[in-house]
Amino acid sequence: MAEENTQATAVEGQPSPEGMQFAVQKLYAKDVSFEVPNAPTIFTEQGQTDVKLNLGQRVDEMGDDLFEVTLTITVTATVGEKTAYLAEVVQAGIFQISGFNEQSHHAAINTLCPTTLFPYARAMITALVTDGGFPPLVLQPINFDALYAQRMQQAQAEATAKATPEGEA
């Protein structure tokens, strides 16, 4: 009989230190919306399309080391002053995260979880835009590790600035 490997993995295929676990329990689309408020006239508009992307993330603790993480991607495209389309996807997942120290846990929530969710949300946005009658929109990959590091540096700089009395530098 073959032995089962019961060792937890932090990243697919890479062994983790004893007791540390990061596992995807469930991935799902929590909310999907697509609007073309100026149809059908928007399809005859001439001009450059301006596309804006908004990202948001929410974390809800579910207990027993389970966390629901939602990644919201909102894409708004305009031609001139008119909205061509608005696409919004809330992609969610339930993740089991245990055995990490506080800093590593915080990093996992803010990097591994959105990195896991983003490809699903990106594919859904692309399908919505294309099915809505517009040219395909291909969202570029997002480096959530770099975004997290930038946010942590910014928070540290703000904390340092608040801790330094005025007039001192």
Per residue in 73-99, pLDDT (tens digit) is 999 999 999 999 999 999 999 999 999
34-44: pLDDT as tens digits? 999 999 999 99
Give the separation between CA 111 and CA 92, rounded to whole angstroms: 14
Report in angstroms the alpha-carbon separations of 57 from 1, 6, 17, 70: 45, 31, 28, 6
- The pTM of this model reads 0.81
Residues 80-113: b if buried by 16+ CB within 10 A, e if exposed: eeeebbbbbbbbbbbbebebbeeeebebbbbbbb
Q: Report cis status (omega within 30 of 0) of the bond before 119.
A: no
> Percentage of residues in the chain with pLDDT exceeding 90?
76
Q: Which of 2-16, 54-68, 77-91, 124-138 has the lowest mean pLDDT?
A: 2-16
Which are the contacts of 165, defined by CB distance < 8 A and separation ≥ 6?
Answer: none
- Domain 18-158 grouped into CATH 3.10.420.10: yes
Neighbours of 129 (CB within 10 A): 22
Give the separation between CA 91 and CA 59, rounded to whole angstroms: 12
pLDDT of 53 reads 96
